[in-house]
Chain A
Amino acid sequence: MKECETYLPLMMLVLDGEASQEEVQALHAHLEECEACRMRYESYLAVDEAIKRTEEEPPEQLTAAIMNGICQEKPRVGHWLHRYRFTAIAAVAALVVLVGARVTWNTPSGKSSAAADHMENAAAAEMEVAEDALEPQEVPQMAAFQEAPAEPAAEVAAEEPALQPAENPDGGQNFGADASLKEETVYSSEENAPSFPECIKALQEAGYSGHVMYLTDVSREKLEQVVPDMREIALEDGLVAYEIGESDAAVVQTRFPVSEDRVSGTDSEEHYFIFLVS
């Protein structure tokens, strides 16, 4: 039996076509003499055959379905990316202004300098913009998006799942499609908003990884209007993430100012998480 055990790894190599000619001969010589090993080997062969026999022709309409999906999406890809870049830039700018304004509001003396007043006004203006941004119907009028051509909300909602591998910062060196394997996240909190790294850390500790988005000043209700079937995930320290679908993530990115957007974790993920921070 001890000798037989040494032949087991060799059996696997032979079955997988990874053994040398000498190894194949050595195994077969043993199988001639050992019935137990021969039965085991034939059992494995039967397993392999069973798996191979499950092979079937794909449905005839598969090619057309694949090409149809590509044709429908193609004209929008570059356009969508272009617009998203402006969205991200505008959103980050808005966040910077808002953070500055909060610092001013928290000043104990209550005094407001001219600069602070200016920032408050700017923040208020940005918040109005953000409010507008929360209304899907208002997308075409959003100041933050004015630099990019806007599309009617209904059309945006009808977009196919947006997959932009080239945009994924984790793009593999050999496999550009790593970038296609991305996820997104959205998160929510009341006060003492957690930082983006804290959100990512909480997600990772809970065993999630994927594309993480950090939205400021977007209420859950507003998000739900756009993504009615989002899944709430309770994390440590009262953090909440919302998992959404890939196509929904694309819509969210066009509708809301995404202040942070990063892929976290392994490349084999395709989950989109949103953190809502107010």
Chain B
Amino acid sequence: MDEKTLIERAGKGDEAAFETLVRTHEKMVYNLALRMTGSREDAFDLSQTTFLKAWHAISLFQFDSKFSTWLCRIASNTCIDFLRKEKRRGVVSLTVPDEADRLYELSVADERLNPAVIVEVAAQRDAVFQALQALPKDYRVALSLRAIEDMSYEEIAEALDVKTGTVKSRISRAREMLRQHFTGNLSEDTSSKQEKGGVQR
């Protein structure tokens, strides 16, 4: 049965059809939530919430975007909202460097450009999750979506309801911030603001 038929059936209340869609896409949703939160427990809960929302809305799905993009939109919003609530509870992430020039500030001779350093530091999964948590959530979600099945700028823009230029900019900055994070280039004072990082079981 193709995905379109499954979606149509699920829209009419066919739980078995929806379960097939869940099995197909749950890994994508779960990993997005995991990268967004750095917590397996939260990722599990947010995946449930995402699919519950999708179940209620699936009859409204218009087929004018990919189903996976539509799901990513629900998942992204669910995660961002969750993180916003976390922030209100006092969990603070790193500040956003607004200067576009930050991308170009390193000198040619900068030793920290050595990719071997990144490979070594990022070998620890928890270190990667921790680094992701240090990104502003708008950047994090764009980069996380990009890492999912190589979504295009256009698809990510659709999922996040922003312009493709914004997507490009956020991914670029996120990538540069992570590179600097892995090479120890983030300032101490901003790093110290991080209160949550690593994967929690």
Contact = CB atoms under 8 A, between A and B. Distances in A.
Answer yes or no: are A and B bound together in one complex: yes
Interface of A: 1, 4-5, 8-9, 12-13, 15-18, 36, 39-40, 42-59, 62-63, 65-67, 69-71, 73-74, 77, 160-161, 163-166, 171-177, 179-181, 267-271
Main secondary structure of the interface of B (DSSP, over half): helix
Contacts of B39: none
Contacts of B44: 58-59, 62, 65
A226 B40 CA distance: 30
9 contacts: A12-B168, A39-B114, A47-B175, A50-B178, A58-B30, A164-B56, A174-B70, A180-B56, A270-B77
A172 B106 CA distance: 42
Interface string B18-32: 110011001100110
B153 A44 contact: no
Contacts of A42: 115
Contacts of A57: 27
Prevailing SS type, chain A contact patch: helix
Interface of B: 13, 15, 18-19, 22-23, 26-27, 30-31, 34-35, 40, 43-44, 47-49, 51-62, 64-65, 70, 73-74, 76-78, 80-81, 84-85, 103-104, 106, 108-110, 113-115, 118-119, 122, 125, 128-129, 132, 143-144, 146-147, 150, 152-153, 158, 161, 168, 171-172, 175-176, 178-179, 182-183
Contact of B62 (A16, A164, A176): A176
A9 B171 CA distance: 11
Nearest to B154: A18
Contact of A47 (B15, B18, B43, B182): B182
Contact of B35 (A13, A51, A166, A171): A51
Contacts of B73: 175, 177
Given A8-B103, A44-B176, A271-B84, 9 more contacts: A1-B108, A40-B106, A51-B132, A51-B178, A59-B44, A67-B22, A160-B52, A181-B81, A271-B85
